[in-house]
Amino acid sequence: MSILQGYKLRLRIGRQTDRTTVCSFAGPDYESDSAAERWFDLAISEDGFQATGDNPTIPVPTQHGVRGTAYSVGGDRNTQQGSLNMPFFPECAKFLLDLPQVVGDQKEYYTIQEWHDSSIGTGTGAEYIGCVFDGFNMTLNRGASGVVPISLPFFFNQDKELTGSAPSFTRPPADPYSSRGVLIDLVKTTSAFDADNADVESADISVSDGVSVGDHRGSPTESLDGVWTTHTLATAPTVGVNSTLVVRDSDYLDWHRGSPKPDFMVRVGLTYQNPTFKQTATVTITDGGGSQTITVSDVSGLADGDIVMITDGSKFTVATVSNVDAPSDTFDIDDSDCAWTAESVTITNAAIELRMLRLDLSAPGTKTAGGGRATISHGFSAELVAGETELYTYKAANDDNT
């Protein structure tokens, strides 16, 4: 019998209709938001899938004539949080950002299957059923070349051994997002979104709904015996941004001294290094002007629903495309954060935007002098207040780069 080689592991994830009904993984519909069985094959980081659910034994203290425990019972199962860590791929960008979304005060359920090689025995993998995702963490490090990673914490409800032949696996066809394609617009709320702040060297973004699981019950079905039956959300979800800035502006050193204490907001744009649509065009676009029509030399490679980045190298906006018209080489965007008047811009598809409109400077940093320059790290955070419906928004599409 051979050993399990690391490269043999592969993982897929699909949406379930309820907590216990496993995703059928049949006929994937990557583009439809309403498809209950939508699923993806994922290329994860090495050791990027951690699901170590607990199955404790609780000793029963009794006096029974000798030293030692005589009796025990089973405890609550699968209360520990797992994590899914991977490079951020354009093919499943919207799918991944949708995983933690709340629908009717509840999370949606997912099945995760991890398959391996049948040559090591009768078992060929493990199936994790009824997974709920709490949020996500994203690392944007422009000070070092590399990929943009995303991490998604989750709870699973039950797990089973998989047997039989592993299904075919189709890895994401396009490379992941790169740190070279990151734009970060971090401003005080007295300003408006406009341009990339080149001083922001890195930003770690975290989102959490504070998911907890409970109401554990017995069951004659082994995989359901002692597992949780309900999940709940914290009263107020939270977001956080930890950023490091190169000190080119003394204002960065004074942010914590503001009175009244200033609020901040951040807008992050990701561009893809090998888009199917990339055009340089001279355009006039109105800031905040709602739906607008853009004319280019050729719309080949662009489609309705694409997310585009429009930038002059500093100012940028991320918009959703509609009404692509090949005869006239025009398309519409839903909105813009910047204004251009007969100016040259570059437009690429397979882009992503994430924005947080209200952040508090919760952890002012101190200067660090290293590498011949000074940097300062600041921590920002926010939690939902009464009357708000969301702490962040995003624009993303699933793009297989075809």
List the domains of the chain with CATH numbers: 6-241 (no CATH), 276-349 (2.40.30)
Quote the CA–CA distance of 97 and 88 in Å, as a whole number. Answer: 10
pLDDT at 89: 95
Q: Cβ atoms within 10 A of the Cβ of 71, count?
A: 10
Closest by CA to 99, choosing from 136, 53, 126, 129, is 136
Quote the CA–CA distance of 321 and 315 in Å, as a whole number. Answer: 19
Closest by CA to 270, choosing from 117, 87, 85, is 87
pLDDT at 282: 96
pLDDT at 1: 60
The tokens of 331 are what?
A: 């398309």
Q: pTM for this one? A: 0.93
Residues in CB range of 20: below 8 A, 6 or more apart = 129, 130, 157, 158, 224
Closest by CA to 15, choosing from 29, 3, 1, is 29
Quote the CA–CA distance of 88 and 48 in Å, as a whole number. Answer: 12
Number of residues that this document lists for the chain:
402
> CA 91, 116, 229: angle at the middle one, nearest 5?
75
pLDDT at 261: 84
The tokens of 354 are what?
A: 């994430």
Residues in CB range of 63: below 8 A, 6 or more apart = none
pLDDT at 120: 81
For 145-180, b/e burial (b = at least 16 CB within 10 A) is eebbbbbbbbbbbbbeebeeeeeeeeebebebbbbe
Examine residue 260 and say whether the peptide bond preceding it is cis (omega within 30 degrees of 0).
yes
Quote the CA–CA distance of 21 and 19 in Å, as a whole number. Answer: 6
The H or E element containing residue 97 is: helix 93-98
Residue with token string 């309403």? 34
For the chain (402 residues), the mean pLDDT of every run of 10, in chain order, is 80 93 77 59 94 89 94 93 96 94 92 89 91 96 92 96 90 93 92 93 96 94 94 94 92 85 93 93 92 95 95 96 96 95 96 95 87 90 91 92 76
Quote the CA–CA distance of 137 and 43 in Å, as a whole number. Answer: 17
The tokens of 239 are what?
A: 């977001």
pLDDT at 388: 87
Closest by CA to 305, choosing from 392, 394, 393, 395, is 395
> CA 248, 252, 254: angle at the middle one, nearest 5?
130
Closest by CA to 155, choosing from 209, 116, 204, is 209
- DSSP at 378: E
